[in-house]
Amino acid sequence: MGTVEKIVQSELSGHALIVGTDSETSTSQPFMLFASGIGDAWLLDPLGHRAVCLVWRGERQSSTVRETSERLEIQWEGSYELLGEFFSVDLDHPLIGRRTIGGYPVEQLRKLLHSVQPVERTIDQVIEQNDAVELSPEIVAQLTRTGWSAEQLTKAARQGARYSPSRDSVLFPAMVGPE
């Protein structure tokens, strides 16, 4: 049984599983596959932020992935992004389209994705705050459920602050001194 089928079967059995490929299974680049345990399974390209849905709401999806002993052929459906505790996708998939999904093992995914991304992307996230997201009411509500102060987050949002999932921190805009 190949890695893709293993993830599909795990999801159809209701079991969460995350698998990262390495040079033994992919000669061109790493891939991440995960079964959410709540009805969905995905194949991700961590370098290009591309995604393919393997299982959606408990139903196996028509395969845009062909796995042989020598290679993996993938017809990517769109892109993904990890936004705080959420998995956001923008796909050319008629059932899914563009949506943000909660309940996935996002923190474990983030750690594995971080381990395979180029150092340049890590630097961009730290210096340029590329992974920071707006402190929207939804993000504030999610952070409040994990122990953050809603009052402080709302105040920070009014001051232009953003939330960085990779740092688990609120980041404020740079201060500019008088000219």
Q: How does residue 23 score in pLDDT terms, banded at 50, 70 and 90?
A: very low
Q: Which of 56, 54, 29, 30 is nearest to 43 (CA)?
A: 54
By three-state DSSP, how is residue 143 classified?
helix
Q: Residues 41-80: pLDDT tens digits? A: 999 999 889 999 999 999 999 878 887 777 778 999 999 9
Q: What is the mean pLDDT of the chain?
A: 85
Q: Residues 69-101: pLDDT tens digits? A: 777 789 999 999 988 788 999 999 999 999 999
81 vs 88: CA distance, rounded Å: 5
Between residues 12 and 71, the one the model is more confident about: 12
- Choose the weakest-confidence range: 14-23, 101-110, 156-165: 14-23
pTM, 2 dp: 0.68
161 vs 174: CA distance, rounded Å: 10
The string of DSSP codes covering 104-140 is S-HHHHHHHHHHHS-HHHHHHHHHS-TT-EE--HHHH
The predicted pLDDT at position 73 comes to 84
E-state strands within 36-102: 41-45, 50-56, 59-60, 65-67, 72-74, 78-83, 86-91, 98-101
* pLDDT over 90, % of the chain: 48
| Contact (CB, 8 A) for 35 and 49 | no
The predicted pLDDT at position 177 comes to 64
111 vs 91: CA distance, rounded Å: 23
Q: Averaged over 16-24, what is the pLDDT?
A: 77
Is the pLDDT score of 24 beyond 50?
no
- Choose the weakest-confidence range: 12-16, 40-44, 113-117: 113-117
